């Protein structure tokens, strides 16, 4: 018998028996999480089931982000109801509106290599950056997992992606996500788990990994995990002060297929409306007038995103509206200390932190009819950011910042 992939290894441990592709398993979960917009629904399900209790308070994580700060009375009411639940059930890992976006907090504070993480939000795949098998689920499934500590899964097949070389200039995690979406399209990875090996771990830092894992759900993958390596150790040590135990695939693990991306040969990519897999090079769409740029979200609200945006905007003024939202208190603080926030502010950006806001047409920049948005967030579906007649182009932070400076879709090289 050949060795196990990372997916098989994690699911075998979680279900207590050897797992192969297609097995329907009951897995123990290490973390169950929800936010405000899905959290009230999770609690409603628990109430209807007459089981307002959790299997282990310490393993539940709650963060307010989608409606933070509340844009209307109902949102405030939703948050109030969840605060009461958190207090009644005694959940210590609760993050109110001043801390950050759930997926970012899971990466910064909670996720560990080898864990099974489920949360009531599709972008839970983000924790795959640390080598956790992390899946989004609906409110009922998350309520069941929170009550019982278990969930049922169909074990996916494992597909290996290898990243080679150092990223070309302006290339980051988003471009790798868009490359996979463009090359394979949105359906291909349905029922598969993507395991990414980085040949030179330091060339592809945790920020980039989180972005790529985040968009695993756009590929319809069951999980997108980076195989833990020295970068995983460096990150956890820096953010949390200890070394994580690494869980890695066996050397003779069998993968359904392999795919290699040469990072040094890439050019910046965008996803044009209205599909995440409608991927083009920037040169194919450059010059398109842009009304609003959004730099942030659980996809691209991290320090390196603000670093590159500040590099591009330094000493310039934005020509289109630009909203910049670091994903958490930590990210905002670091961006502030390094001067990135000041640079973006002086360039004319509107800045806050810790909210999903414009990503889902929530608040802080809802798109109007006919408007064109360049966004570093995860989705450009019709009506995602507001009006059904608005259009969203997805890009990495470099293209977004360059487009804000020029007021039209632009290549970062053109503004430097």
Partner 1 sequence: MVEGQAMKFGDKIDTDIIIPARYLKYTDPKYLAEHAMEPLDPEFHKKASKGVILVAGKVFGMGSSREQAAMALKAAGVKAVVAESFARIFYRNAINNGLPVITVPNVTKEINEGDMVTVNVETGEVKVNGKVLKGKGITGMALEILNTGSLIDYLKRVSVKSTN
Could you list the residues that contact partner 1 (CB under 8 A)?
24, 37-38, 41, 44-45, 48-51, 67, 74-75, 78, 120-122, 124, 135-141, 143-144, 147, 152, 186-187, 190-191, 217-218, 220, 222, 275, 360-362, 379, 381-384, 388
75 vs 343, beta carbon nearer partner 1: 75
What minimum distance in Å lies between the beta carbon of 111 and partner 1?
A: 18
Measured between its terminal Cα atoms, the distance across the chain in Å is 55
167 vs 296, beta carbon nearer partner 1: 296
β-strand pairing of 391-395 with 223-226? unpaired
What minimum distance in Å lies between the beta carbon of 77 and partner 1?
A: 9
CA 134 distance to own-chain centroid: 11
Q: How far is CA 237 from CA 41, 58, 108, 164, 242, in A?
A: 35, 21, 11, 25, 5
d(CA 375, CA 292): 8
Computed over its alpha carbons, how large is the radius of gyration of the chain? 20
What minimum distance in Å lies between the beta carbon of 138 and partner 1?
A: 4
* Contact criterion met (CB below 8 Å) for 133 and 362: no
143 vs 198, beta carbon nearer partner 1: 143
* Contact criterion met (CB below 8 Å) for 191 and 154: yes
For residue 298, say whether it is annotated as part of any ligand binding site: yes
* Contact criterion met (CB below 8 Å) for 237 and 209: no
d(CA 4, CA 47): 40
What minimum distance in Å lies between the beta carbon of 153 and partner 1?
A: 9
d(CA 92, CA 115): 20
Structure tokens, 78: 């939703």
For residue 356, say whether it is annotated as part of any ligand binding site: yes
Order across the sheet with 116-119: list the strands. 94-95, 60-63, 31-35, 116-119, 133-136
176 vs 360, beta carbon nearer partner 1: 360
48 vs 87, beta carbon nearer partner 1: 48
75 vs 320, beta carbon nearer partner 1: 75
What minimum distance in Å lies between the beta carbon of 119 and partner 1?
A: 8
Question: Look-up: residue for tokens 């996720």?
Answer: 111
HEC string of 16-45 equals CCCCCCCCEEEEECCEEEEEHHHHHHHHHH
Compute the C-alpha angle 186/106/120, nearest 5°: 55
3-class secondary structure, 294: strand
What minimum distance in Å lies between the beta carbon of 132 and partner 1?
A: 17
123 vs 302, beta carbon nearer partner 1: 123
Structure tokens, 321: 């509206």
What minimum distance in Å lies between the beta carbon of 268 and partner 1?
A: 24
d(CA 284, CA 144): 46
What minimum distance in Å lies between the beta carbon of 156 and partner 1?
A: 9
8 vs 222, beta carbon nearer partner 1: 222
31 vs 282, beta carbon nearer partner 1: 31
With CA atoms as reference, report the closest residue to 153 among 125, 133, 128, 139. Answer: 133
What minimum distance in Å lies between the beta carbon of 154 and partner 1?
A: 8
Q: Which residues are annotated as a binding site for [4Fe-4S] cluster?
A: 298, 356, 359
Q: Which residues are annotated as a binding site?
A: 298, 356, 359
């Amino acid at each position: 018998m050949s060795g196990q992939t990372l997916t098989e290894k994690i699911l075998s441990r979680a279900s207590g028996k050897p797992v192969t592709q297609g097995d329907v398993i009951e897995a123990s979960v290490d973390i169950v999480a929800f936010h405000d917009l899905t959290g009230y629904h999770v609690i409603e399900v628990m109430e209807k089931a007459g089981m307002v209790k959790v299997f282990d308070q310490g393993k539940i994580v709650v963060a307010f982000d989608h409606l933070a700060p509340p844009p209307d009375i109902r949102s405030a009411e939703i948050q109030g109801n969840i605060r009461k639940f958190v207090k009644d059930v005694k959940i210590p890992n609760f993050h109110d509106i001043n801390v950050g976006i759930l997926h970012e907090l899971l990466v910064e504070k909670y996720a560990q290599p080898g864990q099974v993480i489920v949360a009531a939000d599709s972008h839970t795949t983000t924790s795959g950056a640390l080598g956790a098998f992390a899946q989004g689920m609906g409110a009922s499934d998350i309520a069941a997992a929170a009550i019982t500590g278990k969930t049922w899964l169909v074990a996916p097949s494992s597909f290996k992606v290898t990243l080679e070389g150092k990223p070309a200039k302006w290339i980051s995690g988003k471009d790798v996500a868009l490359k996979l979406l463009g090359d394979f399209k949105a359906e291909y990875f349905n029922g598969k788990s993507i395991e990414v090996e980085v040949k030179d771990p330091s060339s592809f830092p945790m920020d980039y990994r989180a972005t790529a894992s985040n968009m695993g759900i756009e590929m319809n993958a069951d999980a997108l995990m980076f195989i833990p390596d020295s970068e995983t150790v460096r990150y956890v040590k820096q953010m949390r002060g200890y070394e994580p135990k690494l869980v890695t695939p066996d050397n003779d693990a069998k993968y359904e297929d392999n795919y290699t991306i040469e990072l040094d040969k890439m050019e910046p990519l965008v996803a044009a409306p209205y599909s995440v897999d409608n991927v083009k090079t920037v040169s194919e769409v450059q010059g398109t007038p842009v009304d609003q740029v959004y730099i942030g979200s659980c996809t691209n609200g991290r320090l390196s995103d603000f670093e590159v945006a500040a590099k591009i905007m330094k000493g310039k003024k934005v020509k289109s509206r630009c909203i910049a939202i670091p994903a958490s208190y930590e990210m905002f603080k670091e961006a502030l200390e390094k001067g990135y926030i000041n640079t973006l502010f002086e360039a004319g950006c509107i800045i806050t932190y810790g909210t999903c806001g414009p990503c889902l047409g929530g608040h802080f920049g809802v798109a109007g009819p006919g408007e064109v948005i360049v966004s570093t967030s995860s989705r450009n579906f019709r009506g995602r950011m507001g009006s059904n007649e608005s259009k969203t182009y997805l890009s990495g932070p470099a293209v977004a910042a360059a487009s804000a400076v020029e007021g039209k879709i632009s290549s970062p090289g053109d503004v430097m």
